[in-house]
């Protein structure tokens, strides 16, 4: 299999991680059982000792309109490219991607979204190495799907009417979030509560460990103030989980995915 050297301290949105060779999944790839698949690592914390990693080749970076009814998007297509395409061709329902980083495969796998706007809203089906799977046959919910294979392509319902006001609305929603390197929300919101509120309530808003901290601007954003290390991030994640469990008896579940052989949150 071909590989590409990736420096995760540059590639990942956290700006943390080593330089490693990542295998490339292309049309000839058959066996991927030894690998963990990544997209653009906007939701991922890469440790010093990651499992063997795999990423989709550039051949999966495309957008096609089919029969004026469907939008077919390759798994390696970045969100910004999708948002620009939809603006150019006056396509509705993807405005939220202008302010949500990731590649299509990662966005679908995470059922990424902002408030009620989620990538699954207009999804029809996905294509994986084992063929097509319709939305009805996928379990999904808040930042969750049961997809267990690389998403090579996804097909969406095509509706026209790009709404520039929505882009402004999503930009505004982002104003309370830090621009310092992070991976978005660190924890999932527990039912009927907010992870940010809980982190603040246990005294961790703005709390620094090394160069990592739970942001003063939004406590559920774990941010890297410059030279943050994987160990510092893990320390803060565990500290928040421990304090929230002790004080509220709530288990904070990571939304970010931790890729390190010593911290097995990947499967």
Q: Which residues bind ligand FAD (CB under 6 A)?
A: 13, 37-44, 56, 75, 100-103, 105-107, 109-110, 112-114, 143, 147, 150-151, 182-184, 257
3-class SS shares of the chain: helix, strand, coil, % to 5: 30, 30, 45
Geometric angle at alpha carbon 113, from 249 and 219, rounded to 5°: 45
Q: Residue 229 CB, nearest distance to ligand FAD (Å)?
A: 18
Residues identified as active-site: 143, 185, 255
3-state secondary structure of 96: helix
What is the Cα gyration radius of the chain?
19
Q: Which two tokens stand for residue 113?
A: 């979204």
Q: Which residue is nearest to ligand FAD (CB)?
A: 105
Q: How far apart are CA 243 and CA 34, in angstroms?
A: 36
Which residue's CB is nearer to ligand FAD, number 18 or number 113? 113
Q: Residue 128 CB, nearest distance to ligand FAD (Å)?
A: 8
Q: How far apart are CA 81 and CA 103, in angstroms?
A: 9
Q: Residue 122 CB, nearest distance to ligand FAD (Å)?
A: 15
Which residue's CB is nearer to ligand FAD, number 105 or number 243? 105
What would you measure as the largest C-alpha separation in the chain, in angstroms? 56
Q: Residue 143 CB, nearest distance to ligand FAD (Å)?
A: 6
Which residue's CB is nearer to ligand FAD, number 103 or number 243? 103
Which residue's CB is nearer to ligand FAD, number 83 or number 110? 110
Total count of residues recorded for the chain: 267
Identify which of 15, 19, 27, 104 has the alpha carbon closest to the alpha carbon of residue 53.
19
């Amino acid at each position: 299999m071909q590989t590409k050297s990736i420096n995760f301290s540059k590639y990942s949105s956290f700006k943390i991680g080593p330089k490693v060779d990542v295998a490339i999944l292309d049309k000839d790839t058959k066996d991927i059982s030894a690998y963990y698949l990544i997209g653009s690592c906007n939701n991922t914390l890469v440790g010093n000792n990651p499992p063997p990693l795999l990423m989709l080749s550039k051949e999966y970076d495309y957008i096609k309109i089919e029969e004026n009814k469907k939008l077919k998007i390759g798994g390696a297509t970045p969100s910004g490219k999708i948002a620009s395409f939809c603006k150019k061709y006056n396509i509705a329902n993807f405005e939220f991607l202008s302010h949500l980083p990731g590649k299509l495969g990662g966005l679908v796998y995470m059922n990424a979204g902002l408030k009620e706007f989620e990538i699954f809203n207009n999804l029809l089906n996905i294509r994986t190495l084992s063929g097509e799977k319709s939305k009805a046959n996928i379990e999904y919910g808040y930042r969750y799907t049961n997809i267990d294979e690389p998403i090579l392509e996804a097909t969406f319902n095509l509706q026209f009417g790009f709404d520039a006001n929505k882009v402004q609305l999503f930009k505004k929603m982002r104003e309370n979030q830090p621009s310092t390197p992070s991976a978005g929300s660190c924890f999932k919101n527990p039912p009927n509560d907010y992870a940010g509120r809980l982190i603040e309530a246990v005294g961790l808003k703005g709390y620094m460990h090394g160069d990592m901290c739970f942001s003063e601007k939004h406590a559920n954003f774990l941010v890297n103030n410059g030279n943050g290390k994987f160990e510092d991030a893990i320390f803060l994640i565990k500290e928040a989980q421990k304090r929230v469990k002790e004080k509220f008896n709530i288990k904070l579940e990571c939304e970010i995915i931790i890729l390190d052989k010593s911290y097995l949150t990947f499967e």
